[in-house]
Amino acid sequence: MLSFTRGSRSPAAVTGVVAALVAVITLLTAAFTLPADARGNDPAPGPTQPVYSYARAIRQSVWVDTGLSADRKDGKPVRVAADIIRPREPAAAGRRVPVIMDASPYYSCCGRGNENQVKTYDGHGNPVRFPLFYDNYFVPRGYAVVLVDLAGTNRSDGCTDVGGPSDVQSAKAVIDWLNGRARGYSARSGGHPVSATDWADGSVGMIGKSWDGTIANGVAATGVEGLKTIVPISAISSWYDYYFAQGAALYDGGPDQLAGSVESTSAHAHCAAEQQRLRDGAPRNGDWTQAWQQRDYVAAASKVRASVFVVHGLEDLNVRTQNVGPWWDALAAHHVERKIWLSQTGHVDPFDYRRAVWVNTLHQWFDHYLMGVDNGIERASMADVERSPDHWTTDPVWPAPGTASTRISPVASGTPGIGTLALPPALSGAAGTESYTDDPSRSETDWAAAAGQPTPDKVSFLTGTLTRPLRFSGSGTVTLTATASTTSAHLSAVLVDLGPATIRDYEGSGEGIKTLTTRSCWGESGPGDSACFLDTAADTESVGFTVFSRGWADLGHGGAGLHGGPLTPGKPYTITLRLAASDHIVPAGHRLALIVAGTDKGLIVPPDTRPALRLDLAGCFAQLPLVGGPAAWTAATGQGAGQGAGQVAEPAAAPVLRSAPQRSSAA
């Protein structure tokens, strides 16, 4: 978004030989192998095969009525452009095919994928390049691929409303059209009516990264008939949680600025009123408004009929994992079929960090949910988690089996600014108070680097050296009782693994990947649309600590309803910060730190004052998602309930310093 791939494969010569062999095999087997759509409605016995010609595929553009009215005096309806590529052979035989859809605002302004591909057209306006590999790989296997321009972008009418009704309806209307419930036309101005029911079987799978995946979430939350699965990658589930963390602003700009960055030239001319509505509905004070409610898909999770395959980077500091936990938990509560991949990367597509496994898994996923192939993907492990660069583990469910929310108390020690962590109840009189002063020039990187030393800008609570590993899986919270010296205050709470590790460099320019000069091919190429993409590899660094979960809040937004107000200096307030979803193992020999501070530089916007804060530790505690619960804590720390109070923290190992990340909401 909002953005502001594994090692190289074969050399070009070998790739050419392999491609030729594949072509020969395809020709020999095409007459004898029928893909799922040719076998009737029975579940197919094996994976779909590339038996259809990509070169001869039908390419067309259709403009679909959204049912919305343009913000113009002429009152013309809003039509969105859908560029379609589908195999010719099933159409010629009267057979229908399922659709893979990616609805995006980025097809002309910013591009998709690691190479920033945009749509291209020939001199007659017919689509030539379909960004990413979906068309190259899946069309020969009997799928249609439909790329939709959200309202107000590229060749669509209307205005972008950043995850609101117009954005969601842009994609939903195309699903309705594919199922015969909406009207489509051959031209933006009208042309002749076009139907999809003669070639589309009505089954749709939506996919996309960032804003694209966000729209998949939003459309699924409408419960639209025909949407069978979604694959949201680094996607938003609540736009409020993208822009704010419990009242604390995460970005300087608002959704109106984001809309302006993607809208087409024609949209700029008539969308000023919509942008003003975005500004009015999303005030910079962090209050929960009707506009945010419209853009909260978690609240409508009960309507989701589609299966959901969530993919996200645990160190994504653009669309942060605050957007994973609530959505996943809501889907689980409503028994939605689901799967999850969690990588060590930032805002990165899995095609660029686990390419071969990703393509194979996605192929199985779409085959099952769109073609009816009984391949067992829905019974396979639910969760894949990257533990270190390119090393993955699996779990049958997520959060991991045996995870229990475990209450941990911060306790003062004999050193101001440095405390310990213990199972409650803490020893009598040991809770105490701690104080710090907000310093907007300091970040979580600075805090973690000095976790074991007193500094005026933060308070650290640490375990001793762990004798067994501690695994965190899921979402947690930190409850703080704080008194501020001024009328405004922001709070940060971060969990840190103190110990050496080799991780993906998520703060680097590639957010955990580096782009190579070689290419690998995934599907068939055509004139103007290559199936060959630059390879990538893990971009790693050695560190002395890892921040693995974060939470932020404005202290004035601690009440019900997320409506804030000025603080009364000297008055204590209690607020519960939501920690971002995570899955991390703190190894034996490392220590765990909970750090509480003010402004997290580069990740939240400072308050309008610089407060001193006092924590009443008797009113502070964390609820952490520990695999094994309290027993695992005791085994790893040697503490029983109430032990650990009064211990002096060990000095922190000298870490490898990293600069604080600077993120923006630009595409």
Backbone angles phi, psi at 27, to 5 degrees: -65, -40
- Cα–chain center distance at 49: 30
Other CB atoms closer than 10 Å to residue 651's CB: what's the count?
10
Specify whether the CB–CB gap between 110 and 262 falls below 8 A: yes
- HSE-CB at 604 with a 13 A cutoff on CA atoms is 31
Q: From the candidates 347, 363, 368, 557, give the one annotated as an active-site residue.
A: 347
Q: Which two tokens stand for residue 98?
A: 């399922």
Q: Cα separation of 28 and 16, whole Å?
A: 19
Terminal CA-to-CA distance of the chain, rounded, Å?
Answer: 5
- Cα–chain center distance at 97: 29
Q: Cα separation of 464 and 272, whole Å?
A: 57
Amino acid of residue 375: N
Which residues have C-beta within 8 Å of that of residue 116, sequence separation ≥ 6? Answer: 110
Q: Is 137 exposed, middle or buried (0-12, 13-18, 19+ CB in 10 A)?
A: buried
Q: From the candidates 102, 135, 176, 316, give the one annotated as an active-site residue.
A: 316
Specify whether the CB–CB gap between 152 and 263 falls below 8 A: yes
Provide the pairing of β-strand 77-86 with 144-149.
Answer: antiparallel
Q: Which two tokens stand for residue 394?
A: 């699996």
The sign one gets for the Cα dihedral 53, 59, 64, 70 is: positive
Name the CA radius of gyration of the chain, rounded: 26
Specify whether the CB–CB gap between 340 and 382 falls below 8 A: yes
Other CB atoms closer than 10 Å to residue 559's CB: what's the count?
12
Backbone angles phi, psi at 326, to 5 degrees: -60, -40
Q: Cα separation of 111 and 183, whole Å?
A: 28
Give the CA-trace dihedral at 348, 350, 356, 361, to 10 degrees: -170
Angle between helices 272-281 and 255-262 (to 10 degrees): 150
Q: Nearest to residue 171, comparing CAs of 146, 194, 196?
A: 146
Q: From the candidates 61, 156, 210, 237, give the one annotated as an active-site residue.
A: 210
Amino acid of residue 408: I
Q: Cα separation of 375 and 117, whole Å?
A: 32
For 309-368, the DSSP string reads: EEEEETT-SSS-GGGTHHHHHHHHHTT--EEEEEES-SS--GGGTSHHHHHHHHHHHHII
Three-class secondary structure of residue 225 per DSSP: coil
Is 391 designated active site?
no
Specify whether the CB–CB gap between 256 and 275 falls below 8 A: yes
Backbone angles phi, psi at 402, to 5 degrees: 85, 0
Is 42 designated active site?
no
Which residues have C-beta within 8 Å of that of residue 25, sequence separation ≥ 6? Answer: none
- Cα–chain center distance at 263: 22
Q: Nearest to residue 445, comparing CAs of 431, 455, 430?
A: 455
Is 71 designated active site?
no
What are the Cα distances from residue 408, in Å, to 163, 472, 528? Answer: 37, 13, 58
- Give the catalytic positions in this structure: 210, 316, 347
